[in-house]
Structures are given as C-alpha cells and as structure tokens.
C-alpha cells in the first residue's frame, strides 16, 4: 500500500526537494545496479541493531530507496518510506509510504524505531527533522541513521573547484555542503536525545575513470540539487581539466581513481527512567587529582 504525502516547498533553503524527487524517480529503474554503498550501510545498521537486546514493533525507514534496509532487517516489521514513488514501490515491505522527510506524518509517541540509510544528507533542516523524530518516537525509542558527511567526495570537490577557478576565474556551487561529525553530536543533544553516540566510517571506492564516478552518482540519484546551483552545464573543457587533475592528484598505481565517502552514523534514544543515568554532580567518592 502506498500512502502519498505532500512535498513541502520552503523558500530560502539549500536543497530543491522536488528536484531530488525527480532525480530519484529517474534513477529508480536501475538503482539496484548502483546500490552497493546503500547496501553496505544498510547491513552495518542491521548489525548494530542486532546487538540491541530488545524488540521493535513499530518501525519506520526514512528514505528507504528500493528497500535495502528492509532486506537487511528481515524479521523486523518496517514501514519503508521515500520521496520517490518509483523507488519505494520496489521495496519488499507490505507497507510503503511516499513522503518527504521534512514533514513526517506519524503521530506523537507512536514509533519504537526510526532508522535511515544514506538519505538524510539532503534534508534542509536537520535540527527540525530531529525534533520531529524525537516527538514521533515512544519513550525509550531509538533513532539510528547514517548519512554522508562533510568529507564525502573531497577529491571531486578539490579537482572540480581547482579546474573551474583555473578556467573561469571563480567557483560555482556544484557539490552540496554536508554535516560534520562534531555538529552531528551537538544536534542530537540539542534535540533532547539521551545516550547520544556519533561515529564515522570513511569508505574508499575506486573507479576506472572520474567519468565513471559521475555516472555512478547520477544512477544513485545523488546529483546536485542545490537551489543556487549553476544552471550552466559542465563544459567539455572544464570536465577535461577536472579529470586531468583527478588523475594527477588521486590516481592510483593501476590507473584507477579513488573517491571518499564519509558515512556518519547517529544513535540516540528518547529519555526513559530505565536508562542509565549520570550520577549527581559532586557525588564522587574519589578525587581526580589523586590519580594524576
């Protein structure tokens, strides 16, 4: 079953969510051939969840694409959601919801688990999303999400900026800003989550040529959706110089090139009396200076 949800349009934000939806709709048909990163991160989240000794009965996957998390979390009742109907219809879960992550339709205190793999880096208002997630979760509910961090595609950013500065005398906004590890932890605490944990993993993927990287990003639906993006297409000269710099700076011995994907994982619980609590300030029985 597919439940549609309106796509909000908010002026002044970084990302064009309607364009993101269009990109994912176009990528949906062949997404499974380019979903290796999504599958790897989904399996990592499944492994983390398996270490938690409790049951989850009302669970939502935000930005589920074609159901990679649903397949990794076999046995957990999961509602798969995505902004793209063309993608979410391919998920194996019986309940699928077309929604925008910036406007969650779920009732307050209705969910045990909200999980997400490589989708929330396109959300304009991360603090607002975390506040919504917090209110949708029951007490002692879990939020577990992985998203691309600020070091993602650092090689492409470097070479494209250098080439454009060299040929055009300036740099256009072609690659989106992403959250940092430090900011992610602060945002979890600001939203009110208990026991917040943030960690990151840097994945290095090799390609035969920089053009293969750009093709893979397009087929993943990860194209540029910046509102203030340059409308001018990349010229042959700019692409040629970008590829030359990429090979010079990040080429490998076998002729391939490497691309970095920084994956930041956020874990947070809604407060509950059963959780571990810090001792009251001043209740310690030993002095730190005695050990130094």
Nearest to 25 by CA among 89, 94, 74, 106: 89
Q: Which residues pair with 143 in a beta bridge?
A: 114, 268
- CA–CA distance, 37 with 65 (Å, rounded to integer): 12
Q: Please tell me the number of Cα atoms within 13 Å of 231 on its side-chain side.
A: 1
Residue 142: its H or E element: strand 137-148
**CATH classification number, 2-271, choose in 3.50.50.60, 3.40.50.150, 3.10.310.10, 3.40.50.300:** 3.40.50.150
Q: Which helix or strand (DSSP H or E) is residue 237 part of?
A: helix 236-250
Helix (H, G, I), strand (E, B) or coil at 128: helix
How would residue 164 be classed by pLDDT, with cut points 50, 70 and 90? confident
Measured between alpha carbons, how far is 200 from 129 in angstroms, rounded to an integer?
20
Burial of 42 (0-12, 13-18, 19+ CB in 10 A): buried
- Domain extents for the chain? 2-271
Band of residue 282 on the pLDDT scale cut at 50, 70, 90:
low
Residue 2 has a pLDDT of: 41
pLDDT reported for residue 280: 62
C-alpha closest to that of 222 among 84, 71, 100: 84
Q: pLDDT for 49-88, tens place per residue?
A: 999 988 999 999 999 999 999 999 988 999 999 999 999 9
Q: How confident is the model at residue 169 (pLDDT cuts 50, 70, 90)?
A: confident
Q: What is the mean pLDDT of residues 224-228?
A: 87
Q: How confident is the model at residue 189 (pLDDT cuts 50, 70, 90)?
A: very high
Mean pLDDT of 134-163: 95
* Mean pLDDT along residues 145-172: 89
């Amino acid at each position: 079953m597919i439940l549609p949800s309106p796509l909000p349009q908010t002026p002044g934000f970084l990302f064009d969510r309607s364009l993101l939806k269009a990109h994912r709709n176009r990528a949906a048909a062949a997404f499974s051939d380019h979903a290796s990163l999504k599958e790897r991160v989904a399996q990592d989240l499944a492994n983390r969840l398996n270490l938690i000794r409790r049951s989850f009965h009302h669970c939502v996957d935000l930005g589920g694409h074609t159901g990679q998390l649903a397949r990794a979390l076999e046995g957990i009742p999961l509602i798969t959601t995505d902004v793209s109907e063309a993608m979410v219809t391919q998920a194996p879960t019986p309940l699928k919801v077309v929604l925008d992550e910036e406007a969650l339709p779920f009732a307050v205190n209705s969910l045990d688990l909200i999980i997400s793999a490589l989708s929330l880096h396109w959300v304009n208002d991360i603090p607002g999303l975390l506040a919504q997630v917090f209110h949708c979760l029951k007490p002692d509910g879990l939020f577990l999400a992985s998203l691309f961090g600020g070091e993602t595609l650092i090689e492409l950013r470097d070479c494209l900026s250098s080439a454009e500065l060299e040929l055009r005398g300036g740099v256009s906004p072609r690659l989106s800003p992403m959250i940092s590890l430090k900011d992610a932890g602060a945002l979890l605490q600001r939203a009110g989550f208990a026991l917040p944990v943030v960690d990151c993993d840097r994945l290095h993927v090799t390609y035969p040529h920089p053009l293969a990287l750009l093709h893979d990003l397009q087929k993943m639906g990860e194209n540029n959706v910046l509102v203030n993006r340059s409308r001018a297409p990349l010229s042959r000269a700019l692409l040629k110089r970008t590829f030359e710099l990429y090979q010079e700076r990040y080429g490998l011995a076998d002729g391939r090139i490497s691309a970095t994907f920084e994956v930041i994982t956020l874990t947070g619980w809604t407060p509950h009396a059963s959780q571990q609590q810090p001792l009251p300030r001043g209740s310690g029985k030993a002095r730190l200076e005695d050990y130094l």
